[in-house]
Structure 1
């Protein structure tokens, strides 16, 4: 689908800037199969790329000017934002332009000679749905500039730079998973990623061939990572690691969890956060083992375990996410859980192909009966990572 829009994005670029782009690139959103809030704890995650992408038409400039336009913000002729790359600095921009501008800032801060660009962006990744629309935006810009300026950076290096852009320039304390998924995922696979050293393994994940589907249910409840609760959870995890004398919660062994919780005493909030992270890392490893053994249906209960942990220990679920999970399970789903940062966004539902229509109808009816905005339901197909389209 992203290839089909390359021509339209290039045409709009030409209308905006008076000449055709040097190229068009795409980077996907992602669904995290399992491994939530483990990435900033140096743990394990298992995302895969969606067919939904951010697409960028880009040309270089040599005059220090960065011009940015988004079809999703203001597609009028007067909607071009113009910045000077020498003036880019953290905290100076709280709008959408902070994401692409932050990437330019991070590249230049790392010593890469980026002298400006004209950029037009368009995205089909639902914003605020927990599907990494911001990471897709960052990675597509980083990949385009990497190619155009001949920087020679690999996918994991682009991911590190984009994480720094979001952490420092945008001010959102995100981990490394989203950017790495956008940069490195492969079609038909889930990415088993160790976020400490960024070692990766592509795990075959072809549900359709096994008579199953993975549905994404976008509750249409928006979240904002850079505000409040996400940062509190991260700080609490760092406190737990410090109290336990480890570099990160990744270093707390699953077999030693009970002992670790005892050492934390009566700090119930930190105990809950630690328990989630340690058990979630174990769940990721369990899912990898099941998939490699060909027992795909058995990952369903593990996904559901993850939701319970996110709901009860990490406390980042919400009424709508719980309603999706409870309704889907009652209607015959193999497993379900919230995915993404929490406090809204999306849930995933693992289902037999024959049950998809029944499950979808059950969730939609449950939302209607509860007086909630109708959710968006679509199939998640493991797709390609960031790439050049034209």
Structure 2
């Protein structure tokens, strides 16, 4: 099934519990908090922008990725679901190009800029850059006229844990994009918008894929979403009630800091190098020129049966040891400078510095191709109700993320181990890694017991014992450990006066 909705405008009335249920996939008794949030933001808008009334509301959900980590930018599939935690904008068009933002969280200061192309960024790490990324990307793509762009005023709020690997940043980009489109009276195909926003988010400096934007826009309640790329295709995967996915926050923040940005971009570069080395090897072995932009272009499905067994070809082409820049250059019959210019450039136009321990190209390749296979197998297991198999595949995924892609940390590993001890069928880190969250597949009938055990063993146990670690604080346990309920994708709707 392919999701392809051409308009965001929906005749929604927020005082209807049926509408909130459709958005959040929760029973009426759990929806009052969402209604209160919407009204609180409306009142904040009227207080801070007294010259106008809010004209529309935008909502963009976060996501939890069930399996398929770092596969998206390599052209392989992913399997996320949208969360019932989201970013909200209560907004109205401005009288000119000004974009003016008030965040209900006081730690995020007011931000204002002009929607004129090109949009210069704030300092790196500033929350306003995610709004700028959306505005800059839509102007660059021509969806909004560079000469006639209208800005917007917005009161912004969110319930997605920050720096937790649950896509709060991409949800902000999606929400900002919908607000900018609404202010300019522009409608856009959701699939096309997902592609545009995947590119737009690179404005903040990370070389990511398109999963986060696609699931935030295209998800449907009660379903996970298998997403394939280049071109973007989606398949709704029903989630059965007998299995619940639970998120546990490690309390180790996964910010897009310089060190984490380097680690993330390093893996993107290592995958490019794997693509180049394998392309050359296949060409040499077959006598047929093979040009590939990403690893999925070198899959058996793309190349066909006439090509050699790719795993062994990759092993011989790459080797299992880390490679220096000069070693990679020799294998590609290039100079080191040529390799840097062709494969190692970052978003800011500088080459990625050579890792002191060498490029771990084989490990990255092995993770990507095995993780891609696990996505397909997990979809099959979910459809057939084989929850044990779902858990087994999640466990394999975590081991690969930890050992081959090297994006785990002691806290994530501890959460996975404790989750399995406390009754989860499977567990894995979720998101880009280096901190953030784990996701656990738990039989629904044992969820309450599982949550109690995890509270005792991790939050009241491990965290208190390891006080030297840089744990984030929290006030409400439900903010850091919660059951996932597959929500619908992003929405935009007009609101009345009042």
267-276 vs 155-164, which moves further: 155-164
**2:75 and 2:176 mapped to 1: Cα distance?**
26
Match of 1:99 in 2: 130
Match of 1:388 in 2: 492
Match of 1:213 in 2: 244
What does the per-residue CA deviation read over 1:143-179, in whole Å, with 9 as the maximum and x for residues that have no partner? 2222342322122222223222220x21122211001
Q: Please report how far the alpha carbon of residue 267 of structure 1 lies from its aligned counterpart in structure 2 after TM superposition.
A: 3.9
Q: 1:300 aligned to 2:391?
A: yes
1:1-390 superposed matches below 5 A? 1=31, 2-18=34-50, 19-74=52-107, 79-86=109-116, 88-94=118-124, 95-111=126-142, 112-113=144-145, 114-167=149-202, 169-206=203-240, 208=241, 210=242, 212-225=243-256, 227-245=261-279, 246-253=292-299, 256-268=310-322, 269-367=360-458, 368-370=460-462, 371-372=465-466, 376-388=480-492, 390=495
Is contact 1:323–1:366 with CA below 8 Å preserved after alignment?
A: no
What does the per-residue CA deviation read over 1:228-284, in whole Å, with 9 as the maximum and x for residues that have no partner? 211111111111111111321123437632331222124441000000000000000
Tell me the TM-score normalized by structure 2. 0.73
344-353 vs 325-334, which moves further: 325-334
Is contact 2:320–2:363 with CA below 8 Å preserved after alignment?
A: no
**2:59 and 2:367 mapped to 1: Cα distance?**
34
Is contact 2:58–2:490 with CA below 8 Å preserved after alignment?
A: yes
**2:155 and 2:420 mapped to 1: Cα distance?**
42
**1:56 and 1:353 mapped to 2: Cα distance?**
33
User: Which structure 2 segments of 5+ residues have no match?
Assistant: 1-30, 280-291, 301-308, 323-359
Is contact 1:244–1:263 with CA below 8 Å preserved after alignment?
A: yes
Is contact 1:225–1:341 with CA below 8 Å preserved after alignment?
A: no
**1:160 and 1:59 mapped to 2: Cα distance?**
26
Is contact 2:387–2:425 with CA below 8 Å preserved after alignment?
A: no
User: Which structure 1 segments of 5+ residues have no match?
Assistant: none
**1:333 and 1:81 mapped to 2: Cα distance?**
43
Change (3 A) 1:336 1:83: same
259-268 vs 41-50, which moves further: 259-268
Is contact 1:91–1:171 with CA below 8 Å preserved after alignment?
A: no
Query: What value does the CA root-mean-square deviation take over the aligned residues?
Result: 2.0
Query: What is the DSSP-based 3-state SS (H/G/I as helix, E as strand, rest coil) of the residue aligned with 1:44?
Result: coil
**1:359 and 1:294 mapped to 2: Cα distance?**
21
**1:87 and 1:74 mapped to 2: Cα distance?**
28
Change (3 A) 1:337 1:309: same
**1:280 and 1:266 mapped to 2: Cα distance?**
18
Large movers: runs of 4+ above 6 Å: none
More strand as a share of residues: 1
What does the per-residue CA deviation read over 1:295-345, in whole Å, with 9 as the maximum and x for residues that have no partner? 244211001100000000001101111011111112221111000000100
**2:194 and 2:181 mapped to 1: Cα distance?**
12
**1:70 and 1:159 mapped to 2: Cα distance?**
24
